Chain A
Amino acid sequence: MISKSLAMKVLNAALATGGDYAEIYIEETKSSSFTLENGKVEAVGGGLSFGAGIRILRGIRSVYGYTSDLSPKSLLDLAAKLAGSYDGERQIEVTSVKKQKVKIINPIVNPVLETPAEEKIAYLKECYEITASVSPKLVRIIDGLSSYRKKIEIFIAEGPVAKQFENFEERTRVVMTAVAADESGQIETSFKGPGRFEGWDYFTKVLDYKGAAKQVGEKALLMLGAKECPSGEYTVVIAKGWGGVLFHEACGHPLEASATARNLSVFSGKIGEQIASPLVSAYDDGSIPNEWGSNNIDSEGNPTQKNQLIKDGICVGYMVDRSNGRRIGMEPNGTARRQSYRYAPTSRMSNTYIAAGNDNPEDIIADTKLGIYVADFGGGSVEPTTGEFNFSASEAYIIRDGKIAEPVKGCTLIGRGDQILLNIDRVGNDLELGQGMCGAASGSIPVNVGQPTIRISKIIVGGRGGKLE
Chain B
Amino acid sequence: MNMQKFFELAKARGIEESQVQIGKSSSLSIRLFHREIDSYKVSSSQYILACGVYNGRFGSASTQKLTADAFEYLIDQIILSATYSEKPNEVGIFKGSEKYHPRNLFNKQLGQIPVEKKLATLREVEEAIYAADPRITDADGVSYSESESVSEFYNSYGLKLRQRTNHYAFVAGAVARDGEETKTYYDIFFDNDFSKFDKEKFVKGVVEKALKKFGGQPCLSGKYPTIIDHDVASSLIGYFLSSTIADEVQRGSSMLKGKLGQKIASRKLTIEERPLAKTLFYSYFDDEGVATQNKAIVKNGVLQTYLYNRETAKKDGVESTGNGFWAGSKIGTDVGQIFVKPGKQSFDEMIADIHEGVYITEVAGLGTGMNAQSGDFSCQAEGYMIRDGKIAEPLNLITLSGNLLKMLMDLKGFDNNPVLDSGGTSIANMYIKSMSIGGK
The answer to whether A and B interact is yes
- Chain B neighbourhood of A392, CB < 8 A: 365, 368-369, 378-379
Give the docked Cα–Cα distance between A164 and B378 (Å): 48
For chain B residues 57-89, which have a beta carbon within 8 Å of chain A? 59-66, 73, 77, 80-82, 84-87
Say if the beta carbon of B37 comes within 8 Å of chain A. yes
Say whether B221 contacts A467, CB under 8 Å.
yes
- Chain B neighbourhood of A62, CB < 8 A: 38-40
For chain A residues 14-45, which have a beta carbon within 8 Å of chain B? 28, 33-35, 37, 40-45
- Chain B neighbourhood of A121, CB < 8 A: 84
Say if the beta carbon of A423 comes within 8 Å of chain B. no
Q: How far is the CB of A112 from chain B (nearest CB, A)?
A: 15
A78, A380, A412, A462: which contacts B42 (Cβ < 8 A)? A78
Q: How far is the CB of B203 from chain A (nearest CB, A)?
A: 19
A45, A50, A139: which contacts B81 (Cβ < 8 A)? A45
Say whether A179 contacts B252, CB under 8 Å.
yes
Say whether A64 contacts B184, CB under 8 Å.
no
Give the docked Cα–Cα distance between A310 and B44 (Å): 41
0/1 per residue, A334-362, Cβ < 8 Å to B? 00000000101000000000000000000
Say whether A344 contacts B39, CB under 8 Å.
yes
Say if the beta carbon of A46 comes within 8 Å of chain B. yes
Q: How far is the CB of A36 from chain B (nearest CB, A)?
A: 8
For chain A residues 241-297, which have a beta carbon within 8 Å of chain B? 262-264, 266
Say if the beta carbon of B55 comes within 8 Å of chain A. no
Give the docked Cα–Cα distance between A66 and B137 (Å): 33
- Residue of chain A at shortest CB distance from B439: A460
Say whether A64 contacts B40, CB under 8 Å.
yes
For chain A residues 93-152, which have a beta carbon within 8 Å of chain B? 117, 121, 139-140
Say whether A463 contacts B438, CB under 8 Å.
yes
Say if the beta carbon of A391 comes within 8 Å of chain B. yes
Which interface residue of B38, B44, B87, B402 has the most chain A CB atoms within 10 A? B44
For chain A residues 403-440, which have a beta carbon within 8 Å of chain B? 409-412, 414-416
- Chain B neighbourhood of A461, CB < 8 A: 399, 438
A44, A415, A416: which contacts B85 (Cβ < 8 A)? A44
- Residue of chain A at shortest CB distance from B372: A189
Say whether B380 contacts A390, CB under 8 Å.
yes
B45, B87, B365: which contacts A40 (Cβ < 8 A)? B87
Say if the beta carbon of A388 comes within 8 Å of chain B. yes
Known: A388-B397, A462-B399. A35 touches B328 (CB 8 A): yes
Known: A181-B252, A391-B365. A68 touches B65 (CB 8 A): yes
- Chain B neighbourhood of A179, CB < 8 A: 252-253, 373
Say if the beta carbon of A444 comes within 8 Å of chain B. no
Say whether A264 contacts B63, CB under 8 Å.
no
Say if the beta carbon of B101 comes within 8 Å of chain A. no
Say whether A139 contacts B84, CB under 8 Å.
no
- Residue of chain A at shortest CB distance from B61: A46
Question: How many of chain B's residues have a CB under 8 angstroms from any CB in A?
Answer: 73
- Chain A neighbourhood of B373, CB < 8 A: 179, 187-189
Say if the beta carbon of A48 comes within 8 Å of chain B. yes
Say if the beta carbon of A218 comes within 8 Å of chain B. no
Say whether B401 contacts A61, CB under 8 Å.
no
For chain B residues 283-317, which have a beta carbon within 8 Å of chain A? none
Say whether A48 contacts B378, CB under 8 Å.
no
Give the docked Cα–Cα distance between A179 and B374 (Å): 10
Known: A63-B41, A414-B399. A42 touches B436 (CB 8 A): no
Say if the beta carbon of A92 comes within 8 Å of chain B. no
Give the docked Cα–Cα distance between A189 and B368 (Å): 12
0/1 per residue, B134-168, Cβ < 8 Å to A? 00011010000000000000000000000000000
Say if the beta carbon of A211 comes within 8 Å of chain B. no
- Chain A neighbourhood of B437, CB < 8 A: 231
0/1 per residue, B408-421, Cβ < 8 Å to A? 00000000000000
Give the docked Cα–Cα distance between A66 and B44 (Å): 7
- Chain B neighbourhood of A28, CB < 8 A: 65
Say if the beta carbon of B43 comes within 8 Å of chain A. yes
Say if the beta carbon of A82 comes within 8 Å of chain B. yes
- Residue of chain A at shortest CB distance from B30: A85
- Chain A neighbourhood of B368, CB < 8 A: 377-381, 391-392
Give the docked Cα–Cα distance between A46 and B51 (Å): 11
Q: How far is the CB of B230 from chain A (nearest CB, A)?
A: 21
Say if the beta carbon of B121 comes within 8 Å of chain A. no
Give the docked Cα–Cα distance between A385 and B367 (Å): 20
Say whether B365 contacts A390, CB under 8 Å.
yes
A47, A74, A85: which contacts B40 (Cβ < 8 A)? A85
- Chain B neighbourhood of A166, CB < 8 A: none
Known: A231-B436, A264-B138. A187 touches B42 (CB 8 A): no
- Chain A neighbourhood of B439, CB < 8 A: 231-232, 460
Say whether B42 contacts A410, CB under 8 Å.
no
Give the docked Cα–Cα distance between A61 and B30 (Å): 11
Q: How far is the CB of A16 from chain B (nearest CB, A)?
A: 16
Say whether B401 contacts A462, CB under 8 Å.
yes
Give the docked Cα–Cα distance between A377 and B38 (Å): 36
Say if the beta carbon of B255 comes within 8 Å of chain A. yes
Say if the beta carbon of B198 comes within 8 Å of chain A. no
Q: How far is the CB of A81 from chain B (nearest CB, A)?
A: 6
Say if the beta carbon of B377 comes within 8 Å of chain A. yes
Say whether A189 contacts B218, CB under 8 Å.
no
Say whether B364 contacts A381, CB under 8 Å.
yes
- Chain B neighbourhood of A344, CB < 8 A: 39, 41
- Chain A neighbourhood of B190, CB < 8 A: none
Say whether B380 contacts A414, CB under 8 Å.
yes
For chain B residues 358-375, which have a beta carbon within 8 Å of chain A? 364-365, 367-369, 371, 373-374
Give the docked Cα–Cα distance between A385 and B80 (Å): 48
Say if the beta carbon of A185 comes within 8 Å of chain B. yes
Q: How far is the CB of B25 from chain A (nearest CB, A)?
A: 10
- Chain B neighbourhood of A61, CB < 8 A: 36-38
0/1 per residue, B176-197, Cβ < 8 Å to A? 0000001110000000000000
Q: Hey, which bits of chain B sit against chain A, CB under 8 A? A: 33, 36-47, 59-66, 73, 77, 80-82, 84-87, 137-138, 140, 175, 182-184, 218, 221, 251-255, 328-330, 364-365, 367-369, 371, 373-374, 376-380, 396-403, 436-440
6 closest A-B pairs by beta carbon, nearest first, are A462-B399, A45-B329, A231-B438, A462-B438, A390-B380, A390-B365
Question: Could you give 18 example pairs across A and B, Cβ below 8 Å?
Answer: A35-B330, A46-B61, A48-B65, A66-B43, A67-B43, A68-B65, A117-B80, A117-B84, A181-B253, A186-B374, A189-B373, A229-B378, A231-B439, A232-B440, A380-B368, A390-B364, A411-B378, A461-B399
